[in-house]
Amino acid sequence: MGMTITEKILAAHAGKSTVSPGELIDVSLDMVLGNDITSPVAIKEFNKIGVAKVFDPDKIALVPDHFTPNKDIKSAEQAKMLRDFARRHGITNYFEVGEMGVEHCLLPEKGLVLPGDLVIGADSHTCTYGALGAFSTGVGSTDMAAGMATGKAWLKVPESIRFVYTGKLPRWIGGKDLILFTIGKIGVDGALYQAMEFTGEAITALSMEGRFTMANMAIEAGAKNGIFAIDDKTLEYVNNRSRRKYTVFTGDPDAKYSKNYEWDISKLEPQIAFPHLPENAKPLSECGTVNIDQCIIGSCTNGRIGDLREAAAVLKGNKVNSNVRLIVIPGTQAIWRQAMQEGLFEIFLDAGAAISTPTCGPCLGGHMGILAKGERAVATTNRNFVGRMGHPESEVYLAGPAIAAASAIAGKIAGPEEVGVK
């Protein structure tokens, strides 16, 4: 029996010729990632282990992005713990305010994650790097500590589910719509501890931004990881950034999948996930009138340059509704600079938006856009749980950048055509 892409990567990192679903394996790690929320716990556990140094200072990345720039004394203390640890152990990939970014936008941009890599991160959305044909998954802070000390992790090989998307991508339909549609079909536990493998005609046409978005939200279906086959788009993205050699793994024709889904998305409408789960996805035509107070465009899900361009295409020449706050958060400093140089900032500012330095900020209810009781937000983020963006009686509606921008103009959930954008 052949192996899937995920199984081949795991086998290579376990030093085995083959692996099969359910098998428990020890794997070597290419990167261990932590942020300002999870790393402090990992650092404390690392210190308990009693080792003098990390396994490889070049294979650890520490990115304070959740509560940075620091919002209060506690967050400043947590960031300082990362900073001190990075200096003490000579961590190469420590990214502070001014050169940092939202971690899952930053690491691919820096060429720190490449095809065929095996990455663990103490953040659930570490699965983002599957867009590059890597196996990446979120772990707890204690697993991060062990990874930093030993360069190893203990994993169970997941089964794989294949998702095939046929048909031509309609106008304004991107990765966010595909993944919300998918989670709406299978549920938030529909891929529990399984690998979601995305393929098909529509995936081939999808931008790298769209693929990052889909892989990022694999965890919202309960998946262990999301993954894409390597193609010319992947190689173009990687070869412009890579710092080292990498290995391209391809699945075997006779690989076994636990399930196969196939959808023709040629007539798919923009998808909006209603509170309080990503699986509550509805097509735009079924949303009714939902008045809103805030829109967020950014996050590790939709904070890349293509996302900002899409939002700007809708906002150009329009004004944000007087009842709405629109906050735009580029994913990294490089994306921030590129958006500025392309004139996107002028479009955002002319429309009445606020532009933030890179941060996770409002996505987790941290800062830079907290919701009050009864307020509603349309966000390009990845979760809309109760209280996710502020008060427990606030509401978050998940959507792609075009819908978020159009909704900011309309003052309610709306599509580009509703605000006069073709």
> What type of residue is 321?
N
298, β-bridge pairs: 329
Q: Are strands 31-35 and 60-63 parallel, antiparallel or unpaired?
A: parallel
φ, ψ of residue 32 in degrees (nearest 5) = -120, 125
8 A C-beta contact, residue 165 and residue 265: yes
8 A C-beta contact, residue 119 and residue 153: no
93, β-bridge pairs: 61
For the stretch 370-414, pLDDT in tens is 999 999 999 999 999 999 999 999 999 999 999 999 999 999 999
For the stretch 98-118, pLDDT in tens is 888 999 999 999 999 999 999
377, β-bridge pairs: 294, 396
Confidence of residue 96 (pLDDT cuts 50, 70, 90): confident
For the stretch 251-264, pLDDT in tens is 999 999 999 999 99
- In this prediction, residues 175-185 reach a mean pLDDT of 98
Angstrom distance (rounded) from CA 173 to CA 265? 9
Confidence of residue 366 (pLDDT cuts 50, 70, 90): confident
Quickly tell me which residue has 């098909």 as its tokens.
200
Question: What pLDDT score does 388 carry?
Answer: 93
CA nearest to 100, candidates 305, 330, 338: 330
For the stretch 63-89, pLDDT in tens is 998 998 888 999 999 999 999 999 999
Question: What pLDDT score does 233 carry?
Answer: 96
For the stretch 276-300, pLDDT in tens is 999 999 999 999 999 999 999 999 9
The verdict on whether omega for the bond into residue 276 sits within 30 degrees of 0, i.e. cis, is yes
Confidence of residue 182 (pLDDT cuts 50, 70, 90): very high
Domains plus CATH for the chain?
Answer: 5-262 (3.30.499.10), 272-414 (3.30.499.10)
Question: Residue 2's CB: how many other CB atoms inside 10 A?
Answer: 12
- With 90 as the cut, is the pLDDT of residue 7 above it? yes
> What type of residue is 344?
L
CA nearest to 180, candidates 358, 411, 379, 375: 379
- In this prediction, residues 161-174 reach a mean pLDDT of 96
For residue 422, give the 3-state DSSP assignment.
Answer: coil
Kindly list the distances between the CA atom of residue 418 and the CA atoms of 314, 324, 358, 399, in Å, as whole numbers in the listed order: 11, 17, 30, 16
What is the Cβ-side half-sphere exposure of residue 55, based on CA atoms within 13 angstroms?
Answer: 20
